[in-house]
Chains A and B, each alone.
Chain A
Amino acid sequence: MRGQIGLEQIVTTILFISIVGYVFFRVFSYEPLFISNIERENLLSYAYQVSEILLKDPGYPTNWDEEYVLNGIESVKRIGLVEESLNKSNLLSFEKMGNLSEICTANYNYLKKIFGNNDITIIFLDERGNYIFDACKPPRLPPSNSINITRIFSYKIGNQRMIGKMIIGVWET
């Protein structure tokens, strides 16, 4: 009869709407997950790169810690913590670690610029988990969902060689 809707039409309409809805739901639910994963991976890569430079490079100039004391922050072009006289990865200079902490407290924005304008925290801990220096952190506290990466290194105080761990935290700004 004209103007009437049969059972088959109702069922097929429902079926059509469900299928289209299902496909939309599946496709669009991936996107936020992917984006969040990519952002996380991106932050991890960034933290990893920073940690690699700190652990494997003496910085530029190689004696930047001395240059910083003599000529100020502008003389520091790249920060790496490897002891320049030995130039071995994971063997860090205690003085450079100290100067990094100092720069961080006095010139956080310059440090941020050196590391690519991303906010960052750097913490040095000794074997027992105690702070070796004050934590390097921005004036405002990092969010609780920051990405952390931990690296292990060796350092020397006088003739005593020690092991420590460095925690680098980064987040979306």
Chain B
Amino acid sequence: MKGQISMVELVAAVGILFIALNVFFPSISEKSKREKALIKMLERDLLISLDRNGSFYETSLNESWIGKGGKAGAIFFEAGIKKDLGFWIRYLSKNEFKGEKRVQNTITKFIPVFCNCTDLQLKFLQTHASKLIINGREVSISYEAISLDKVKTILEFSDVLIIWNDKPLDEYRNLLLKYLKSGRGIVKISDITSPLDSTTKEIFGVQYLGLSTKETNTSFVYPKSIEDTSYFFTKYFFKVPLMINGSYYGNVPIENGIPSCTNSYNGTFDFRDKSFKFWICNKKVYFDTDGNGLADKIVNEREKFQLDNFNFSINYVKKESIYMVFRDTYNFTNIIGPSRTEALDENNVILYLGNYVGTNKKVPVLTLNKSLGKAIWMVNVGRNGVENIKDDETRLIVTAILSSLGLYKDLKGYNVKTSYIDVENLDMYEVYQVDFGMSHVI
């Protein structure tokens, strides 16, 4: 019938009309970014205030910085409940946030290291290579023995893996590559006296060569710029104060009219083929430089001094221990043993023993291959038993651990992040970054 429409058409027309209206008049939702801006402002305020307060360095490297009872936790929040590394916080009783901080580009206070090594080697590391003080903060390296078969444990709970043996690594290739890819480092301590398995060759970038050398003293490849492979290794080797322990002795035995001192602690400082006795007493260190068992030289904290024509300083003198720094230049003697290897890339050589006879090839003592992650190979300084490892060789192992650390860790899972960069230079120039992330708890 003319002028009539069916109900179906009517319903369709109504539907189309409403759809069209929704298109032409969409519901407008304005999302303010004010909340994010306010969180960002709080983060920046806190970081700047800590810096102004003079406590930024101390608090940012302190694990309890933001947890319950930590400075930031207390500032922000009436109540804080620590949860793993992060924290849950209540702010003005209205908004709830979660937050976390992470320090980048510096050595943190605790370094978990897994060691695929013997009990004796593990004991040696735990006793002699575990305590450092860097720019006034104590750094402790914890060592734990591990079998390479425990893939998951290695990946989750360590920053560095030491493999202190000649074991072929083909069987563990995937694990080790995954480990390196996750930003962690591997240090292999072994003498290479025969052709290597392909995985060791691939990861550490070295291969057996078998030529002869006449040199006995090593040389460092000193960096020309921060880009050079040896930059951080040499920086740590010459700047990081490493602990040498003493035990109770009593009165310091003296000669040459130097003042005596009671209640001393006595230890030995071994390097190259020399050994020097020392006594720690009243924040000073007494050295026996002529080997007659009597102290003839007094060294103060942070004073530069010479022993056997090499420069040292003791940056921290504690009651029972000293924290020694090797200064300026140093070379090892009789360190290489039977190892005859070559670096696949000569730029990876950090410490070497001259050249192979009749060639321009360096004889590597320690290499750092960064092509797959940070993988360090060094000669086995414990080949004659760990009890014969000297303090300079211990320093080499510790430096290898520090140099293989991954210093950047992403701060994930936070809406708003703020970074703050600071510098510290008491023992070693460090430019570090603190990332602080916060977000609302939904």
> A: which residues have CB within 8 A of B?
8, 11, 15, 19, 22-23, 26-27, 30, 34, 37, 41, 44, 48, 55, 88-91, 127-129, 148-154, 161-165, 167
Contacts and interface: CB of A to CB of B under 8 A. Distances in A.
Contacts of A34: 30
B5 A88 contact: no
Interface of B: 4-5, 10, 14, 17-18, 21, 25, 27-28, 30, 32, 34, 38, 41-42, 45-46, 48-50, 52-55, 71, 74-76, 78, 91-92
A61 B303 CA distance: 48
A90 B30 contact: no
B158 to A, nearest CB: 35
Given A11-B10, A148-B92, 16 more contacts: A22-B21, A26-B25, A34-B30, A37-B32, A41-B32, A41-B34, A44-B34, A48-B41, A89-B52, A127-B75, A129-B78, A151-B41, A153-B52, A154-B50, A154-B53, A163-B53
Contact of A89 (B18, B27, B48, B76): B48
Given A23-B21, A127-B71, A127-B74, A163 B42 contact: no
A15 B25 contact: no
Nearest to B59: A163
7 closest pairs, A vs B, by CB? Answer: A152-B45, A91-B52, A154-B53, A154-B52, A154-B49, A161-B53, A90-B48
Contacts of A89: 48, 52
A19 B21 contact: yes
A163 B5 CA distance: 77
Contacts of A37: 30, 32
A89 B53 CA distance: 11
B75 to A, nearest CB: 5
10 contacts: A22-B21, A23-B21, A23-B25, A90-B49, A127-B74, A127-B75, A128-B74, A129-B78, A163-B50, A163-B53
A15 B28 contact: no
A150 B42 contact: yes
B21 A161 contact: no
Contacts of B14: 15
A112 to B, nearest CB: 24
Contact of A163 (B4, B28, B71): B71
A81 B242 CA distance: 45
A171 B28 CA distance: 27
B38 A161 contact: no
Contacts of A30: 28
Contacts of A48: 41
B24 to A, nearest CB: 9
A152 B46 contact: yes
A161 B34 contact: no
Contacts of A161: 52-55
B75 A165 contact: yes
A150 B89 CA distance: 15
A90 B71 CA distance: 16
Nearest to A29: B27
Contact of A152 (B17, B42, B55): B42
Given A19-B17, A163-B75, A8 B5 contact: yes
Contacts of B34: 41, 44
Nearest to A129: B78
A52 B53 CA distance: 18
Contacts of B71: 127, 163
A27 B25 contact: yes
A61 B34 CA distance: 33
Contacts of B5: 8
A151 B45 contact: yes
A160 to B, nearest CB: 10
A162 to B, nearest CB: 7
Nearest to A164: B75
A36 B357 CA distance: 85
Contacts of B18: 22
B53 A88 contact: no
Contacts of B28: 30
Contacts of B27: 26
Contacts of B10: 8, 11
Contacts of A8: 4-5, 10
